[in-house]
Amino acid sequence: MSDLLFNRLLLSFINVKNRLESLLNLCSINEYRLDIKEIQIYIRSVSSLIDNLQYEFKINDNLKLFSNRSLCKNGWTWKKIQQLNNEEQFFNLELLALLRLQILATCFNKFDKQKFRKQTTSSNIMMKLIEEFAILSRKSSNLKKIHFQNVFICPILICLVIEYFPHCLETIIFDYQQDNNYKNFDFILCLLGNENLKLRSLTASYQLGITNFGILQLVKNLNILVELNLVNINAINDQSIKILCDKHYVYLETLRIDGAQLTDRALDFIAQCHQLRKLMIEFCTNMTDANFSIFQNFHKLEQLYLSTLNNISSKSFQLLFNKNCTFKYLHSLTLGECHMIDDNCVRLIVQCCPHLIDLTCSSAYGITDEGFNEIVTHCNQLRYFTLTGCHQIYGEILLDVPEKYLKSIEYLNLDKCNKIDDIILIELFQRKKFISIVNSYGSLIEL
């Protein structure tokens, strides 16, 4: 192994240690409530790794083993790659690029205390931690997006991501981790809140251990945030929304959050984000009908998702969908548990949203055939239509679908609309090719 490669690897772990120490200091200063012993253990492990690596570099035998270690199943080693010409390197690095980031999961499971002691040399551990990153950064020097799904996540992994891709990484997605859910995700958010990162988009779904502290560190320290999705995470509150919008209102285009702790003040803060294209707020239980007119500020809005709207009056929806305001780009609208929506609201929705492709309205008990007919006859581009829990709809106008109306419809869900006769839906299913229909019993219609 060349001195240059060794120095690069050594510097990587020194930087990892520095980032972990900064995180520890941040948590200590703020008297962070989660157990910070985990970070202290990581720091000791990385320090030991650095010391052993420096020592083993002086031993020729270990260096030979290191440079000849297989990088993947096809047998390629660093030494073999370095001997290839440029054309051969490119071809074989294409094969090496098949190593996906998901494979990193198994590497970091090696880093707990017990398994650490069982390794024969620190070089073995170092190779497990670093080789995939070295290959990936060499092949994908301009990596823009990383998607973690069902993989082991820990602060060391995130430190290495920051170390190798600070200049290019723009999007990180953390999906639900079925078997390896990391329990202190605040640490991850704090590490990603790095002004030297070009990170613009973050999605965290069903992650554990997120508090307002971690969210604030993220939004305060990133330079530009274009997209933030915190799915099923109820830690975000009015304070974090204020800081997010005050700093990133010029850039923010997508915001998906849990509204369980949000009040009407949060909507006031969001109102300044005129670039919003996608806005999704789930569980709006504490919001009233005070300021729904702020949605008219979002002239570029393409998707709007609001759920648990059972405290919102019909007049509020008429503020949201004012006949003097047209959402000309809005193609997807979801209003969940909107008990107070009636035919007048539906009429305004149809007028204000002329280009809807996807419409969902659940538990809207006040909608009758009059409102239903407005949607069917005027939403000509509609492809996905969900209307559930509407007990006053008979739906006879569906007899003219798709010949006259809803010619592009692909999905129709009328669960719990128990006045609609199954015969109407079965005949529609027979007339329209490539359509999925859910009847009032919640069952998919099949021939």
Q: What are phi and psi of 102, to 5 degrees?
A: -60, -30
Q: Is 257 contained in some domain?
A: no
Q: How far apart are CA 442 and CA 437, in angstroms?
A: 9
Sign of CA dihedral 52, 58, 64, 67: positive
What's the domain count of the chain?
A: 1
Instruction: Provide the pLDDT for residue 173.
Output: 92
Cβ neighbors of 385 (< 8 A, separation 6 or more) are 358, 359, 360, 375, 379, 406, 409, 411, 412, 413
Q: Is 324 contained in some domain?
A: yes
| Structural domain range at position 416 | 313-446
Q: Is 164 contained in some domain?
A: no
Q: Is 409 contained in some domain?
A: yes
C-alpha radius of gyration, the chain, whole number = 27
**161-181 residues labelled b (16+ CB within 10 A) or e (exposed):** bbbbbeeebbbbebbebeeee
Q: Is 317 contained in some domain?
A: yes
Q: Is 358 contained in some domain?
A: yes
CATH number, position 325: 3.80.10.10
pLDDT tens string for the chain (447 positions)? 445 556 766 787 788 889 999 999 888 887 666 668 888 888 887 787 777 667 656 654 444 444 554 444 344 454 554 555 555 544 444 433 333 333 343 343 333 333 434 443 434 444 455 555 666 666 666 788 888 877 778 888 888 888 888 888 999 999 887 666 788 899 999 999 999 999 999 999 999 999 999 999 999 999 999 999 999 898 899 999 999 999 999 999 999 998 888 988 999 999 999 999 999 998 888 887 677 888 888 999 999 999 887 778 888 888 889 878 899 999 999 999 888 899 999 999 999 999 999 999 999 999 999 999 999 999 999 999 999 999 999 999 999 999 999 999 999 999 999 999 999 999 999 999 899 999 999 999 997
Instruction: Provide the pLDDT for residue 325.
Output: 86
Q: Is 145 contained in some domain?
A: no
Compute CA distances 103 → 49, 78, 184, whole Å: 21, 19, 22
User: What's the token pair of residue 330?
Assistant: 């809005």
Secondary structure class of 136 (helix, strand, coil): helix
Instruction: Provide the pLDDT for residue 441.
Output: 95
Among 199, 115, 110, which Cα is nearest to 156's?
110
Q: Is 223 contained in some domain?
A: no
CB 224 within 8 A of CB 196: no
